[in-house]
Structure 1
Amino acid sequence: MNWYVVYTKPKWEKKVAERLNAIGIVTYCPLVNKISQWSDRKKTIQVPLFNSYIFVQILEKERNKIFEVTGAVRYLFWLSKPAIVRDEEIKAIQNWLSAPECYKVAVDKWQRGDKVILDSGPFVAHEATVQEVKQNYYVLVLESLGCILKVEKREE
């Protein structure tokens, strides 16, 4: 089964995911913790990583089932076809969100253009290219995931 991206009404991501799960459709709504400030207090809340988007795993022929749920608007399309997300990409998001906020990275004087394989953190075993070398950090490009990673230099 493929993973598809479903566009939801604004602020309906969690509700749509719960309702789709209730009718037997596998969903994934990645959540992150955010500190919200009110006039009298601060509170940590969970908000969706992607505003108005959730991922659903469903057979091609059953794709219209998601519209049985209030709040599901449409599928995200790419090149005139519903966008399909690979299992590896879903697992990469899950690994990234479950990783600790701080982790050690061993750095052996990388230079711009070096190809490196990350040995810890949420992107372990991914190949990256060193794009920039600064006094306090490195900028790495993870081409396979289409993202940029900033790694701080730490003296031990």
Structure 2
Amino acid sequence: MTLISNTAAYKWYPVYTQPRAEKKAFQTLVNKGIEAYLPLHRQMKQWSDRKKWVEEPFIKSYLFVHITEQQKTEVLMTRGIARFIYFSNTVATMPDRQIADLKLLLASPYELEITEENLQPGEKIIIKAGPLKGMTGDMVSYRSQKQLVLKLENLGCSILVNVAASIIDRF
């Protein structure tokens, strides 16, 4: 009989939060000892009297939890969490690689755009230099520009990244 590693039981799950409750729900999960990831990006906000850089959730009303099957109830009992995301009638999971790619993208200096449009897959490419080196995705033409697309399949959205043609290879 073989023992399964304890880390194998942990999976990334996307959860849907109540509107504008992402940061509070994230902090509550962390306080409970649950590993969570809330993708944030800096954005310039303008009010009538001032401008200020603020960190906004990159994917509105979503955050990700790295939990075991047994911890699902604890997550759902967290204030601000509405529900788990379902895909084909089962709770959706995110591959570790997609979470790592998302973290890498948000840490990069590239301008990112999230879209819910159903973008058609193009050539498979790999980035060969820079902060995104090793990342793979699809090349698409979007708004007459060639862009790398990281598809978050179970969320029904894609992240568009403008990258220079000189740092990509086809595979």
TM-score by length of 1: 0.76
Structure with higher Rg: it is: 1
Amino acid at match of 1:28: Y
1:150 matched to 2:162? The reply is yes
Distance 1:129 1:17 in 2: 31
Amino acid at match of 2:40: L
Map of 1:58-69 to 2, 5 A cutoff? Answer: 58-69=67-78
Larger mean Cα displacement after TM superposition, 66-75 or 19-28? 66-75
Q: CA separation of 1:52/1:100 partners in 2, compared to 1, >3 Å: closer, same or farther? A: same
1:72 matched to 2:81? The reply is yes
TM-superposed CA distance for 1:152, in Å, is: 4.9
TM-superposed CA distance for 1:121, in Å, is: 3.7
Q: CA separation of 1:140/1:80 partners in 2, compared to 1, >3 Å: closer, same or farther? A: same
Query: Contact 1:137–1:153 at 8 Å: present in 2 too?
Result: no
Q: CA separation of 1:92/1:122 partners in 2, compared to 1, >3 Å: closer, same or farther? A: farther
| Other-structure match for 1:52 | 61
Aligned length: 141
| Other-structure match for 2:44 | 35
Distance 2:56 2:152 in 1: 26
Distance 2:16 2:123 in 1: 38
Distance 1:143 1:70 in 2: 29
Provide the secondary structure at the position in 2 that maps to 1:11: coil
Larger mean Cα displacement after TM superposition, 3-12 or 59-68? 59-68
Larger mean Cα displacement after TM superposition, 68-77 or 137-146? 137-146
Q: Cα RMSD over matched residues?
A: 2.8
Query: Contact 2:98–2:152 at 8 Å: present in 1 too?
Result: no
TM-superposed CA distance for 1:116, in Å, is: 4.5
Provide the secondary structure at the position in 2 that maps to 1:65: helix
Q: Tell me, which stretches of 5 or more residues in structure 2 are unaligned?
A: 1-9, 112-121, 167-171
Distance 2:80 2:72 in 1: 15
Distance 2:64 2:148 in 1: 27
TM-superposed CA distance for 1:153, in Å, is: 6.5
Distance 2:20 2:26 in 1: 12
84, 97, 107: which one aligns with 2:93: 84
Provide the secondary structure at the position in 2 that maps to 1:151: coil
Q: CA separation of 1:44/1:123 partners in 2, compared to 1, >3 Å: closer, same or farther? A: same
Distance 1:44 1:123 in 2: 24
| Other-structure match for 2:15 | 6
Map of 1:117-128 to 2, 5 A cutoff? Answer: 117-127=126-136
